[in-house]
Structure 1
Amino acid sequence: MSLITIKNKVAKTIALAQREYGVYKTQLFGLAILSLLSGLLEGIGINAIIPIFSFINAGKSSPTDTISQVIENFFNFFHLLYTLKTLLIFIVILFLIKAAIAFITGYINASIITRYQTTTRSKLFALVLKTDWSFLSRQKAGYLEQVLTTDVMNSSSLLANVNNTIVLVANLLIYLLLAVNISSFIAILTLVLGAVVFLFFKPLFHRNRVLSEQIEKMYKQMTHFVNQNMYGMKTVKATAVENVVKEEGDAQFEKIRYLNLRMDTVRNISNSLIQPIGLIFIVAIFSFFYKLTSFNFASFAVIVYAINKVFSYTQVVQAQLHSITSLLPYVINIDRYRSEAKNQKEKDVGEQDFSFQTQLEFKNVSFAYIENVQTLSNISFTLKKGEMVGVIGPSGAGKTTVVDLLLRLLEPKSGSILLDGTTIIDIRLADWRTHIGYVSQDMFLINDTIENNIKFYNPYLTQEDMFFAAKQANIYDFIERQPKKFATIIGDRGILISGGEKQRIILARTLARKPEIIVLDEATSALDNESEALIQQSIENLKGNTTVIIIAHRLSTIMAVDKLIALESGKITEHGVPQELLKDKNSYFFRVFNLH
């Protein structure tokens, strides 16, 4: 790897760290200062063993090392008796202060981590909620959950490891200084050996990161696989493919196990070798010290302890660096996802309020999901206020695209959608959607009470509004028959109630908001005749009071509309009153009607 490549990688990593953790640099700096202070107090306390041994052996302090002399000068400066007893009290006080600093350091560390997790999840979630629908619809199932849970957790673990590394390096430096204080020669040898060990293990860091990137990708695939099959578990069971799904799952689980095992093996290589290297070095030091005529057991004990701590901290720092390199891909993934979400932010340039007086118009509207492949081609139609309009057509004709354009989930590639002559882009997005009601065939309900499903995060909705909407949707009597009435829990996605009951609750949710335009996208396609009749009755009651757009396959749903529009291959092939269209034997509606 060239020097330029290494520099670029380091620069990118620093820039990434600045983006992800830069807001915490003040706390991290404070953490470093406190860690140095804590290590210094511990080092002084350990070094005080030398004068203690002198007091025990000679009845007075006589060491010549710098730190011992500083301790003695400290006592003299404050006119304190320098005795074995006062020295022991001094050491106890040092370690009590160190314990207090350690508590503060731990609190700051925990505060940084928890704040990072909360802030990152909150900002990412807010970004996702404001991203363009076309971006969201391309995301794999479980990917966002992976980012908000696993990736953020691992990214915060990396931050915790950085914090721990700061503390460890601070302590390592203090013990190196302690070794220098007693023997600069041995301290330099320790530094040289440490550098050699680091360079020896450097390739393992790279290998660790490569394996971690592979694991991160596999976790993403596994999350998608599990979520996808959990959502479709009914189909999995109904088609008796549980064993096949299990085999595919086992293959992914085994791949993750294998990669994790390899990564742990790489970590263990360095962890298992550092301690023997340190022990060999300490034995060599003993041999060196013991042969000296000025051999001092107290000094020897302290320097052995200091070097042992240096190697111990080096081992832990090594482990922390392995952990940091293994967690880095998760931080990169968060940064990438954040960048993508920012670039796909939903456009909202509107400044006008929603005001619907006369008509909604599609004017020469075209749309394409894929360039040069038109989903809608130059379509135009008008909806009068209070009118009920049906849209029919074969699958792939562009019906759902019309709905998404109305909901402003998509924007026309050409042409415009006008409300009373004003392009809807000029209307504030939130205000537009507040006045548009949407009922789809995908019956989305939350695992909560019927009341909270009807109110659906709207704190301003009154009980009276909720009751009235439930009656309009023909679901009120069903709710009142339940033991807990509106407080009844309906399960995840409404699994505890029938399809018809789900759809009527969703219709009540829509009606409770009192929208001026309601879009029904295949709202009765999966219902039985009785449920469809109840929904149909609710829809017919809206006629003349609310503008209703019905996307439907079932003819019974659209026979009562004021106007019918037929879409084929992204173009309007016919439109008019249903009864008039039936008179034309060549019309699409006539053909479909006679099929039924």
Structure 2
Amino acid sequence: MRIGPIADFAGFVLRRSGGRGMTALVLLLLGSLSEGVSILLLIPLLQFAGGAGGGVPMASLPLVGHLFDPATRITLVPLLGCFLAFVTAQAVLTRFKAVHVARMMQLCVDAIRLRLFRAIGAARWTRVAATRAADLQQALTGDVERVRAAVYNLLLLLQALVMVAIYAVLAAAISPVMTLFAVGVGGVVLLALYPVRRRATRFGETLGGSLADQQHMISEFLAGMKVAKAFNAEAGYAARLEAMLREVRDEMLRFARATANGTLLFQLVGAVAAVGFIHVSVAVLHLPLARIAVLLFLFVRIGPRFNMIQDSLQQLLSHLPAWQDSRRLIARFEADREKDEGADLAAVPPLRHEIRFDRVGMDYGAGGLPVLRDVSFAIPAGRITAIAGPSGSGKTTLADMVMGLVEPSAGRVLLDGRPLDGCGLRAWRDRVAYVPQDGFLLNDSIAANLAVAAPGADAARMWAALEASGAAGFVARMPAGLDTVVADRGIRLSGGERQRIALARALLRRPDLLILDEATSALDEDNETLIIRSLERLRGTMAILVIAHRARITAIADQVVQIEQGRVRVCGPVNLDGVVPFPPQRTGHAPAAVVTRPASHGE
């Protein structure tokens, strides 16, 4: 067992608890001292019980007798009163300590959860997309809660150490030899249980990975439950989960057996040591009965504290890997964060002319083929541009690039001639609106879903966006209107209604660029027609980029960019049959010729 990780974690707790960590340590010390004083008062009580009953000479008391006049005598009532007062103070202190420690633990948990959450949000999209969603969810929920348990067990460990020190001092004042005996027995047993603590560390390391795998499998099952039921594949998922649970259960049982063996060893050694303790106290040292009773009481209190040290160490070591994993994850995301930007929204002027891809290439590495190669074309302001091509041709990468989520590995993206990466990516995204294929609606009201894009928008502005998207009619017919709750993933709405709400949310942003990523691919012809009509009404008000493979939606575009194997093969309008009415243009290494339709749409 290495002390370094525990010391690092203790430092984290002290830093993140906002000064409450030191206060908690002081409260632990005071609680231990109060308990020690209450135990010390048992000595005169026991001497009183064994005396004449008329009072006990203060000079006869251990530890404090030399401070008083030999003639001073105390009676039973003051002794009992002092004992009761100390016990009451100890109870009040324990209550205050419990509340304080709970607040401190929550501060530590909130600190690491919030830092991880912010690190994920500030990281480059490529880093986030390369990480399993289940791993992030496990880190933000399960691992952070294990950090809470680690904080709790760290405090238990510190409390046990303080208590052992207090009891050892009290016992040494009565009999140093017997104190050394008791502390030595506890220390030897702690050393003997080192293998158990190593198993605790291994258990904690394997537990994190196992829980993440379970989270991933469960998320897959819930997201694809309809498919699973359609193929009668539920039993297969259940079998996979059962195997995962069995693996974790077996490891947990091995850890539990090792822990139980350690507790058993402490109990057996403690019993043997207690017998030897009494024998040496009576037969060898010939200590008075009152001192033997107090020493035995202290010995009985010291023994469990060593057991507490062992238990808290085991639990701390089993949960510490969760903190270490969270810290590594934070470091990985913070090291790959988006560029710090001093530019605000005013630093990115409104789009007036075009967004141009200038010989853009994209290579994600890992030995794969380039996603995009030498791509050049322009997205004119106020016009509709459609990007078409087979799956995997790089269409979504182009959309991510124009949003500033990913940066090209070659070439440049220009906004009215200015490089996008020099304009402030986050500031540019304030001028972009995005409609994904699945719509992504929260389990909340329509108003709350719209407010995701523009938190300060009022009801009038929301209704205007709904009108522009063609959603105002069906929302107005709902009894609760904007306050209608759409349920999880918007299942109370049809597919077309969900997409029109998503489009309204995007329009509420009043963007310079509207991006629709396969937004009509899952819709029927009638709902697709409604979306198409909304887009035609928006022509001339903003640049619109449509990623689609359906001819009906590409037919309304002012230009169509055909992507194949990462290259621009065609730029020009298409008809309703998806046929380019003129020969395709090969780009080679030269910019693609952009052929646009005449402005005949009421512009």
Shift of 1:126: 1.5
Q: d(CA) in 2 for partners of 1:293 and 1:540? A: 101
| 2:33 counterpart of 1:52 | no
SS at match of 2:412: strand
Shift of 1:22: 3.4
SS at match of 1:437: strand
Q: Could you say which residue in structure 2 is the equivalent of 1:369?
A: 364
Q: Could you say which residue in structure 1 is the equivalent of 2:30?
A: 37
Aligned amino acid, residue 582 of structure 1: V
Point out the more displaced range, 347-356 or 409-418: 347-356
| 2:146 counterpart of 1:154 | yes
Shift of 1:347: 2.2
Compute the TM-score of the two structures, normalised by the length of structure 1: 0.92
434, 452, 463: which one aligns with 2:430: 434
Q: Could you say which residue in structure 2 is the equivalent of 1:592?
A: none
Q: Any idea what the Cα deviations from partners look like across 1:108-164, whole Å, max 9, x if unmatched? A: 211111111222222221211111111111222321221111111111111111112
Q: Could you say which residue in structure 1 is the equivalent of 2:7?
A: 14
Shift of 1:543: 0.9
Contact 1:146/1:223 (CA < 8 Å) preserved in 2?
yes
523, 540, 557: which one aligns with 1:544: 540
Q: Could you say which residue in structure 1 is the equivalent of 2:265?
A: 273
Contact 2:58/2:65 (CA < 8 Å) preserved in 1?
no
Q: Could you say which residue in structure 1 is the equivalent of 2:157?
A: 165
Q: Could you say which residue in structure 1 is the equivalent of 2:597?
A: none
Aligned amino acid, residue 54 of structure 1: Q
Q: Could you say which residue in structure 1 is the equivalent of 2:570?
A: 574
Shift of 1:432: 1.0
Point out the more displaced range, 502-511 or 133-142: 133-142
SS at match of 2:153: helix
Q: Any idea what the Cα deviations from partners look like across 1:451-493, whole Å, max 9, x if unmatched? A: 1112226321111111011111111111112222221111111
SS at match of 1:38: helix
Shift of 1:49: 2.2
334, 352, 355: which one aligns with 1:357: 352
Q: d(CA) in 2 for partners of 1:581 and 1:427? A: 38
Contact 1:349/1:425 (CA < 8 Å) preserved in 2?
no
Shift of 1:187: 0.6
Point out the more displaced range, 24-33 or 276-285: 24-33
Q: Could you say which residue in structure 1 is the equivalent of 2:409?
A: 413
Q: Any idea what the Cα deviations from partners look like across 1:414-458, whole Å, max 9, x if unmatched? A: 111111111111223332112111112132111111111122263
Q: d(CA) in 2 for partners of 1:76 and 1:554? A: 103
Aligned amino acid, residue 476 of structure 2: E
555, 580, 583: which one aligns with 2:581: 583
Shift of 1:169: 1.6
Contact 2:16/2:111 (CA < 8 Å) preserved in 1?
no
Question: Cα–Cα, structure 1 residues 349 and 413, in superposed 2: closer, same or farther, change >3 Å?
Answer: farther
SS at match of 2:350: coil
Kindly, what percent of the aligned residue pairs are identical? 27
Structure 1: give runs of 5+ residues left out of the alignment: 1-5, 589-596
Contact 2:14/2:22 (CA < 8 Å) preserved in 1?
no
Q: d(CA) in 2 for partners of 1:408 and 1:470? A: 27
| 2:388 counterpart of 1:392 | yes
Q: d(CA) in 2 for partners of 1:581 and 1:46? A: 94
| 2:199 counterpart of 1:188 | no
Shift of 1:585: 6.0
Q: Any idea what the Cα deviations from partners look like across 1:272-292, whole Å, max 9, x if unmatched? A: 221221121111121222225
Q: d(CA) in 2 for partners of 1:363 and 1:449? A: 42
What pairs up with 1:86-485 in 2 under 5 angstroms? 86-291=78-283, 294-349=286-341, 351=343, 352-370=347-365, 373-456=369-452, 458-485=454-481
Aligned amino acid, residue 332 of structure 1: Q
Contact 1:50/1:302 (CA < 8 Å) preserved in 2?
yes
Q: Any idea what the Cα deviations from partners look like across 1:364-399, whole Å, max 9, x if unmatched? A: 111112257211111111222211111111222211
SS at match of 1:418: strand
Aligned amino acid, residue 220 of structure 2: Q
Q: d(CA) in 1 for partners of 2:394 and 2:311? A: 56
Q: Any idea what the Cα deviations from partners look like across 1:211-236, whole Å, max 9, x if unmatched? A: 22112211111111111111111111
Question: Cα–Cα, structure 1 residues 73 and 85, in superposed 2: closer, same or farther, change >3 Å?
Answer: farther
Q: Could you say which residue in structure 1 is the equivalent of 2:500?
A: 504
Q: d(CA) in 1 for partners of 2:394 and 2:155? A: 54
Q: d(CA) in 2 for partners of 1:391 and 1:477? A: 30
Q: Could you say which residue in structure 2 is the equivalent of 1:513?
A: 509
Aligned amino acid, residue 38 of structure 1: G
Shift of 1:270: 0.7
Shift of 1:88: 2.1
Q: d(CA) in 2 for partners of 1:474 and 1:490? A: 17
Question: Cα–Cα, structure 1 residues 14 and 36, in superposed 2: closer, same or farther, change >3 Å?
Answer: closer
Q: Any idea what the Cα deviations from partners look like across 1:553-593, whole Å, max 9, x if unmatched? A: 001101122112111111111212336973336679xxxxx
Question: Cα–Cα, structure 1 residues 308 and 195, in superposed 2: closer, same or farther, change >3 Å?
Answer: same
Contact 2:58/2:72 (CA < 8 Å) preserved in 1?
no
Question: Cα–Cα, structure 1 residues 554 and 175, in superposed 2: closer, same or farther, change >3 Å?
Answer: same
Shift of 1:42: 2.0
Q: d(CA) in 2 for partners of 1:304 and 1:354? A: 81
Contact 1:439/1:507 (CA < 8 Å) preserved in 2?
yes
Structure 2: give runs of 5+ residues left out of the alignment: 587-603
Shift of 1:306: 0.3
Q: d(CA) in 1 for partners of 2:584 and 2:109? A: 63
RMSD: 2.3
Shift of 1:350: 6.1
Point out the more displaced range, 301-310 or 487-496: 487-496
Contact 1:51/1:62 (CA < 8 Å) preserved in 2?
no
Aligned amino acid, residue 40 of structure 2: N
